[in-house]
Chain A
Amino acid sequence: MSLNYNNPEFVIERDQDKCIECRVCARQCANEAHFYDEDLERMREEDINCVNCHRCVTLCPTNALVIKEYPLEYKKNSNWTGGMISNIQKQANTGGILLTGMGNPTDKKIYWDHILLNASQVTNPSIDPLREPMELKTILGRKPDKVEFDEEGKVKDLPPQLELETPIMFGAMSFGSISINACKSLAQAANEMGMMYNTGEGGLHEDLYPYKDRTIVQVASGRFGVHQEYLNAGAAIEIKIGQGAKPGIGGHLPGEKVGEEVSKTRMIPKGTDAISPAPHHDIYSIEDLRQLIYALKEATNYEKPVSVKIAAVHNVAAIASGIASAGADIIAIDGYRGGTGAAPTMIRDNVGIPIELALAAVDSRLREQSLRNKVSLVVSGSIRNSADIVKAVALGADAVYVASAALIALGCHMCQKCYTGKCNWGIATQNPELVKRLNPEIGVERVKNLIEGWSHEIKEILGGMGINALESLRGNRLMLRGIDLTEKELEILGIKHAGE
């Protein structure tokens, strides 16, 4: 074995005066960054193994640990940064594709942060949501061109709809990419909060069937765990075409993660790779997509809305228009900052477009073509807080998918090593010792708290605008202003500059 040219990313600093050699850090670290040195009779560290997930820091009873970036100074160079150099070393070692986890971390413009919200002053009064009713109810699905009532006063021929108490859903994460305890936390939280969660493409574990009314079941190119019972279990079905973190490429759950339970849920042999081809091989056109949409509708008696999830790419407006025409009830668009359990780094960081621009372009196009009522728009990738949600709704979204934020609520510290299967927080792992660290009962409460907090904030922001129903904000871009944006950016977003 030749020399590994790479250096540690992080340095573990241990205050030996505070350390009581309890070895919690060593037991907690699946990456084996801590160990007890019998000769020196003290704890030591293997910096190169550290991924900076903060598990040891959080659990150290004496606060003896600090993790810092490794203070290795390459000669200053804005082009050949340390990250670029170490990536090349990794590939020179292995000849492999650079792999990474979670969303695009690169320093590109985040449009949410260049959009400002309006509030009422004097002319129309703001509303206090603590004292006055405030409506966040969101209904997703195809809306009829005109409303007709039957003799009982019910709307005639209303296509199936999903009812949400708040405009938030948990985005697709498969059992396989995340642990069963993470899945349970999200499913139960969705159930109790009147939201939806999404199975991802890994089938539906038997423990999750009790939450079926709050489940969106996904059908992706690999069709893992897809059968009649699965389709019937879902409140809605989502065809996954693409994902913001890796537009245009397929998925690949490594055999190491396909243990007994994952194997049973996906209905594939233990230890084999679960390969999702890049395209659905029965979909080469909008007409073919229509065929799959209607095959699923036929298979479920037109009782469930069918969503189509795509990554935000250059022609997203034209594609969305095609999807709406193809008969989808919901279009889910995932921006280029969307998360993932594993994606090639070069694709995650360089392919796709920001969700803010994609959303504005799609909403405008669907309106121009009188298609907007035919589909609901759900956006993701990435939604970081309640203000992002309000801005998304004002730009035209019906609801959002959050996934990374929900995982952070469960304990994720964004170390971006999901693909190693060694998640010390029990989230992105199938190792039973690690999985049990995530207590689903606590997980449910934490995720519910987050959604409660966000929903309350959304009401506060709406009240400040003098609006008492989220429905009144949908596509109301006059409530938005841009800051530090070019004419072109403002034009695409369809908003005015601050001060106008």
Chain B
Amino acid sequence: MATIDAKGVYYRQLNKQIKDLVAQGNDEIVLNNVNGHRYIGDGLDSNVKLIINGTPGNDMAAFTNGVEIIVNGNGQDGIANTMNDGKLVIRGHAGDALGYSMRGGEIYVKGRVGYRVGIHMKGYKDKQPTIIVGGTAGDFFGEYMAGGRLILLGLEREEGKSIIGNHVAVGMHGGVIYVRGEVEAYKVGLEVEVLPIDEADREELKEYLADYCKEFDLDLSEVMNAQFSKLIPVSSRPYGNMYAY
């Protein structure tokens, strides 16, 4: 295990240090005093585990493949942009455009997330990414979603605070979204069907949530003890008949 003190280090040097340590064969690196450093873990093709103490900056884990990152703090915007595989655990909140075009791996966020989370998430064969959010989400959750799973729990919500923003899953053409509670029809894109979950869905959800609950020390049966909504696309080709030849 290696440790880096990020205090006063420019992001470019910090990321170079991380890459050098990975190249030397370190399989666990602790980053202390991280404070807005951008691009941490970008392009890493490795199973290294990064433990970040502090607040990493934008575009963390972009274009990565296989990295495990634990953030003991909040995450910012653009986390896991086009991530191919890996596991991110964020113990605080996360910002906008989390998991844009993510293709594989898992992201667990303990708290809230911003706008456009899980946008254009993809799935291909055995690669089916999962994002689980413990708190609430902003507008355009799952916009253009093409594959994978988005799970929104809305736990520890303030009284009267909505679990999800507007324009949910507009342009969705693949994948599935589970929301713990109800999603008002006016918030959902035209391309989406909202269904109650059945027993099979419940079993599947339990499977995904078991690891999440373990990670954040939550009671799985309590989390499961609620009505969930399931959002799926009406068609894998929402814009198939748009054109005049």
* Size of interface on B: residues with Cβ below 8 Å to A: 48
Docked-complex contact B78 and A291, CB < 8 angstroms: yes
Query: Which B residue sits closest to A222, measured CB to CB?
Result: B120
* Of B77, B122, B127, B243, the contact of A96 (CB 8 Å cutoff): B243
A125 within 8 A of B: no
Query: Which A residue sits closest to B171, measured CB to CB?
Result: A275
Give the chain B neighbours of A291 by CB distance below 8 A.
38, 58-59, 78
B237 within 8 A of A: yes
Contacts A96-B242, A222-B101, A231-B43 hold; do A269 and B65 have CB atoms under 8 A apart?
A: no
Give the chain B neighbours of A272 by CB distance below 8 A.
146, 173-174, 236-237
**Min CB distance, B48 to chain A, in Å?**
14
**Min CB distance, A253 to chain B, in Å?**
11
A282 within 8 A of B: yes
Residues in A283-301 with C-beta less than 8 Å from chain B:
291-292, 294-296, 298-301
Contact with A along B29-65 (1 / 0, CB 8 A): 0000000001100110100000000000011001111
Docked-complex contact B63 and A294, CB < 8 angstroms: no
B97 within 8 A of A: yes
* Of A222, A223, A298, the contact of B43 (CB 8 Å cutoff): A298
Docked-complex contact B81 and A282, CB < 8 angstroms: yes
**Min CB distance, A263 to chain B, in Å?**
8
Contact with A along B131-164 (1 / 0, CB 8 A): 0000000001001101100000000000000000
Docked-complex contact B173 and A275, CB < 8 angstroms: yes
Residues in A83-117 with C-beta less than 8 Å from chain B:
90-91, 93-99
Interface centre among B12, B15, B59, B123 (most CB of A within 10 A): B59
Q: With A and B bound together, what is the CA distance between A128 and B5 in angstroms?
A: 64
| Total residue contacts A-B, CB cutoff 8 A | 134
| Range for the number of chain A residues in contact with chain B | 35 or more
Contacts A228-B84, A252-B239, A299-B62 hold; do A93 and B39 have CB atoms under 8 A apart?
A: no
Q: With A and B bound together, what is the CA distance between A420 and B120 in angstroms?
A: 26
Docked-complex contact A298 and B15, CB < 8 angstroms: yes
Contact with B along A256-296 (1 / 0, CB 8 A): 00000001000111011101010001100000000110111
Give the chain A neighbours of B239 by CB distance below 8 A.
252, 273, 275
A411 within 8 A of B: no
Contact with A along B156-185 (1 / 0, CB 8 A): 000000000000000101100000000000
Q: With A and B bound together, what is the CA distance between A420 and B62 in angstroms?
A: 36
Docked-complex contact A228 and B64, CB < 8 angstroms: yes
Give the chain B neighbours of A277 by CB distance below 8 A.
120, 143-144, 171
B74 within 8 A of A: no
Docked-complex contact A271 and B65, CB < 8 angstroms: no
B196 within 8 A of A: no
Query: Which A residue sits closest to B78, measured CB to CB?
Result: A282
Q: With A and B bound together, what is the CA distance between A281 and B138 in angstroms?
A: 14
Q: With A and B bound together, what is the CA distance between A263 and B100 in angstroms?
A: 20
Give the chain A neighbours of B171 by CB distance below 8 A.
275, 277
Give the chain A neighbours of B242 by CB distance below 8 A.
96-97
Contacts A281-B143, A282-B78 hold; do A98 and B244 have CB atoms under 8 A apart?
A: yes
Interface centre among B103, B173, B243 (most CB of A within 10 A): B243
Docked-complex contact B244 and A300, CB < 8 angstroms: no
* Of B43, B120, B147, the contact of A281 (CB 8 Å cutoff): B120
Give the chain B neighbours of A437 by CB distance below 8 A.
none
Contacts A226-B82, A228-B45, A267-B124 hold; do A90 and B147 have CB atoms under 8 A apart?
A: no
7 contacts between A and B (CB under 8 A): A228-B64, A255-B236, A269-B124, A271-B236, A273-B238, A291-B78, A295-B42
9 closest residue pairs by CB, A with B: A299-B43, A96-B244, A223-B101, A298-B39, A298-B42, A99-B243, A299-B63, A94-B244, A267-B124
